[in-house]
Amino acid sequence: MNTSTLGWSERISRWFGNQPKDSIDALPVRVHGHEFTSTGAAPGSVKGFDQALIWAIAGLLMWGLVMVYSASIALNDNAQSNGLNQSHYLVRHAFSLCIAFVAALLVFQVSMDTWEKVAPWVFIASIVLLILVLLPFIGKSVNGARRWIGLGVMNFQPSEMAKLGTLLYAADYMVRKMDVKEKFFKAVTPMAIAIGIVGSLLLAEPDMGAFLVIAVIAMGILFLGGVNARMFMLIASILVVAFGLMIALSPWRRERIFAYLDPFGAEHALGKGFQLSHSLIAFGRGEIFGVGLGGSVEKLHWLPEAHTDFLLAVIGEEFGLVGVVIVIGVFMWLTRRIMFIGRQAIAMDRVFAGLVAQGVGIWMGFQAFINMGVNLGALPTKGLTLPLMSYGGSAILLNLIALAIVLRVDYENRLLMHGGRV
């Protein structure tokens, strides 16, 4: 039979389960204006995950592992390396990937109904961790910032947990408050208090970059959840003014802005503009096709944090414009695909699951955008890693947990479209 003559329900049936038309059940599901009729096929026959999404994630993880090794291989020559061997960061990063992979497999088994029930508790747990990291005998201070809790095998960064906690709480909040979205104070006050508490704890570390990502995640979920446009614009304006005041009232943050505007100036080149200036030099050296894997010069003690915040600069130097465009393209596709999964869930009246997926898309897309903008000199320097690629155990762990939740949303979408139950 010519597939072009089939209706939408028959096409979906053949695509997912290859079931004959007479096995069709009578449970219609509407997605983006099209009606899909569920089939009687066993749920186990459904492809339970988005294979293209899996390959994109795996590709970024593997490329990131190679680049972390390339960017950190010369750090053992540094006087402050304390005798680290050349593969120190490679081994630790690979170990983090293994832990994150196991955690993601376990998280994938948890249904979205369960996540909706525990969302407030995950948020409370993230606040508790943000408080604990500020305690001198628990939190570890590095370069004047107290952001990590030592767990022996790895250092855990509670701000990463706060991103997931806030995301789940915001999605759950929008589902519970659907009836008061038009009433400003009723709808906004509890959420504003929650974000204010998280923001205050993050600024005490200090970690303004994480607070910015969390604020954007919360705002994005409010917007996608259908909050009144005037209300949304008012909240956005308040946040812009708040971040502007934080920068204006902080001398070292103001200095970062000035360094961003003129990184090669005599007063900034060896200070706040040092990272940015050498990042731009790295991109310049890479030109179109790069100097080749392992050939970066800037990573040889010129570019601080090359394996974390400025990994993209090393990619730009070793793989050139082509490599940078590929990374940007993969992140754009990844974000778009995650947002589509979320829209698909919302179209099937699974609002919490849809908002969670879209929140993860905002998280990955916005953080990648900020990191790329900083590396390319388009944005002021901010301590945010490139998701899935930069060195960092807790970041990789929470990134994969969040993506496992998205894959769970997609899996449940497919089950429902195929007549199964979640």
The confidence score (pLDDT) of residue 241 equals 86
Using only C-alpha atoms, the chain has a radius of gyration, in whole angstroms, of 23
Cβ 112 vs Cβ 353: under 8 Å: yes
What is the arithmetic mean of pLDDT over 36-60? 67
Tokens matching residue 143: 């370069």
Mean pLDDT of the chain: 82
Task: Of 39-53, 185-199, 397-411, give the lowest mean pLDDT range.
Answer: 39-53
Cα distances (angstroms) measured from residue 198 to each of 27, 38, 72, 123, 163: 43, 43, 33, 10, 10
Cis peptide preceding 158, ω within 30 of 0: no
Cα distances (angstroms) measured from residue 217 to each of 212, 356, 373: 9, 10, 18
> pLDDT tens digits for 365-382?
999 999 999 999 888 888
Tokens matching residue 334: 């990844």
Query: ∠149-150-155 over CA atoms, to 5°?
Result: 85
The confidence score (pLDDT) of residue 184 equals 60
What is the arithmetic mean of pLDDT over 42-53? 63
DSSP state of 43: G
CA neighbor of 149 nearest in space, from 125, 169, 121: 125
The confidence score (pLDDT) of residue 328 equals 96
Cβ 30 vs Cβ 416: under 8 Å: no
Cβ 108 vs Cβ 409: under 8 Å: no
- Any idea which residue has 């007063």 for tokens? 267
The confidence score (pLDDT) of residue 395 equals 92
Q: Which H or E run includes 39?
A: strand 34-39
> pLDDT tens digits for 74-109?
776 654 555 677 788 899 999 999 999 999 999 999
The confidence score (pLDDT) of residue 12 equals 39
Share of the chain above pLDDT 90, in %: 45
Report whether pLDDT(141) > 70. Answer: yes
Report whether pLDDT(317) > 50. Answer: yes
- Any idea which residue has 């030592």 for tokens? 150
Report whether pLDDT(267) > 60. Answer: yes
